[in-house]
Amino acid sequence: MSAGRLHPSSPGFLRLYGLAFLFFSANSVLTVMLPLLSSQEGFGEAEIGLMMGSYMLTCMLLRPLAGQLIGRHGPLAVMRWLLAAHAVSLALYAVAGAEQFTGLRIVQGAVTAFFSMTMQTGIVEGLEERDRAQGLSLYTLSTMVPSLIGPIVAVELWQNGDRLLLAAVLLALALLPLLLGLGAPLARRGAADRSYTLLDLGRSLRQVRGSRPLQASMAVMLCASFGFGATATFLPLSMMKDGSGHSGLYLMLQGAVVVACRFVLRKRIPSDGSWSGPLVSGLMLCAAAGFAMLALSGSLGDWVYVSALFGGLAMALLYPTLVTYLSFALPGPSKYVLLGLFLSSYDLGFSLGGLGMGWLVQASSYSTMYAACALISLVGCAAALRHGAARERGAAGSAPERGAAGSAGERGVDGSAGASERGVAASAPERGADGSAGERGAAADAAASGDGHPPVR
């Protein structure tokens, strides 16, 4: 290992994983707590949807700026400033009323955009290539573990009704990351050539029309994240109002499924560059089934918790499956910028789920909202199947031209074999140092994080 490089399990990086856990613990508590407090103070669903949707929308819009500043000033300097802003925003949550929540949520979204990109830049810069997949996988796990305990803590705090206890919890989550992050093992100098600018984003938008893999993946992710965003925003309110279940227990179960699937099934994610139509469409059907069960929660009783299993499975596998596919299917010169654009589709769908469904709930009911999410998921399933059928037609049409060449190597040279065979011929650093499917899948996230700076989901 070269000088200055650390191991993913070294004390310095364990400190980074602990920092990520504490940082996202605050968000897991606030995601459940804020809608409940706002509803208690008389806010309608449309206002709550605006408040919660503004978080991810701000995160999406400020990611290019975050990449610029990290490239200019270095991860360590940016981390220190953002942790100070994080501490101030959480301290203000402790004393603010519902009228100030939207503004604080915007600040929190900006801080999260900088934090996720700073962490991943630090991991990529601080580890050898062969260790980056493992480091990013551990970072991803540390961001998901808070979903196991945060919702339960939030519901208990809300039911307790003690604002002083809530203030104490928020202040602890404000100060601990600040103390832990001041000496984080992050690079002091920036790398200006690794920034993701608004100009890059504008150029990449013009490339979407010519990239069917990107079009299909963005359509699927928009449909899925729309439902995920609506559920994250309104599930605590819907279960509180109709008494269909315990939202903290539901979200904890869903988070447990996400963590377990990411770990147990990490080597099952296709990593040969092929479009996994049955898997992607199956995951969208799982999401649709979960939303449909929530729409019928009033008559399902405790069986409503089964929908958490369906939703958790879709959340766990859909993003890594799509980003791994795109890491092979997208052209090399603009790969990372286009991957960043794909990630923006997740952020956009998630924010629109909260923004748009609030109006629908006010005009109808929560059951109607969940039914609409199920239908949108079916649209995403249809997009996945359509892309698979188009790829099969394209492969069949180009087969006669490839017949004379015969070998996989010749097909890879002339490009007619498509993304699947180009993926098989991908370089070892791109697919993972040890060649395992799980490491290759994680390495796709590492590649995305290296230049385009999209955060790991």
- Maximum CA pair distance of the chain? 76
161 has a pLDDT exceeding 50: yes
Q: State residue 105's pLDDT score.
A: 95
412 has a pLDDT exceeding 50: no
Q: State residue 75's pLDDT score.
A: 84
DSSP-derived letter for residue 187 is -
The one-letter amino acid at 180: L
DSSP-derived letter for residue 425 is T
Q: Which two tokens stand for residue 368?
A: 């109607």
Close Cβ partners of 159 (under 8 Å, ≥ 6 residues apart): none
Summarised one tens digit per residue, pLDDT across range 362-411 is 999 999 999 999 999 999 999 999 998 887 777 666 655 444 444 444 44
Q: Is the dihedral of CA 44, 47, 48, 53 positive or negative?
A: positive
When pLDDT is averaged across residues 1-20 and rounded to a whole number, the result is: 76
Summarised one tens digit per residue, pLDDT across range 275-302 is 988 999 999 999 999 999 999 998 898 9
When pLDDT is averaged across residues 442-453 and rounded to a whole number, the result is: 39
Q: State residue 191's pLDDT score.
A: 53
Q: Which residue would you say has higher pLDDT here, 185 or 261? A: 261
Q: State residue 89's pLDDT score.
A: 94
Q: State residue 328's pLDDT score.
A: 86
Ranges 122-126, 152-156, 411-415: which has the least confidence: 411-415
In contact, 141 and 14? CB cutoff 8 Å: no
Q: State residue 197's pLDDT score.
A: 56
Percent of the chain with pLDDT over 90: 44
Q: Which two tokens stand for residue 400?
A: 């006669």
The one-letter amino acid at 131: D
Q: State residue 294's pLDDT score.
A: 96
In contact, 152 and 29? CB cutoff 8 Å: no
Mean pLDDT score of the chain, rounded to an integer?
80
To the nearest 10°, the Cα dihedral for 92, 95, 97, 100? Answer: -10
Q: State residue 447's pLDDT score.
A: 38
Grade residue 77 by pLDDT with cuts at 50, 70 and 90: confident
Grade residue 107 by pLDDT with cuts at 50, 70 and 90: very high
Q: State residue 438's pLDDT score.
A: 38
Q: State residue 5's pLDDT score.
A: 64
Q: State residue 71's pLDDT score.
A: 77
Q: State residue 244's pLDDT score.
A: 84
Q: State residue 450's pLDDT score.
A: 37
Ranges 85-94, 121-130, 425-434: which has the least confidence: 425-434
266 has a pLDDT exceeding 80: no
Summarised one tens digit per residue, pLDDT across range 15-56 is 889 999 999 999 999 999 999 999 998 899 999 999 999 999
Summarised one tens digit per residue, pLDDT across range 195-232 is 555 566 666 667 777 788 999 999 999 999 999 999 99
3-state helix, strand, coil in the chain (%, to 5): 85, 0, 15
Q: State residue 452's pLDDT score.
A: 35
Summarised one tens digit per residue, pLDDT across range 113-134 is 899 888 877 887 777 777 776 7
Ranges 48-57, 231-240, 249-258, 412-421: which has the least confidence: 412-421
Q: State residue 70's pLDDT score.
A: 81
Close Cβ partners of 151 (under 8 Å, ≥ 6 residues apart): 28, 29, 31, 32, 247, 248, 249, 250, 251, 252, 255
Summarised one tens digit per residue, pLDDT across range 311-361 is 999 999 998 899 889 888 887 766 777 777 888 889 899 999 999 999 999
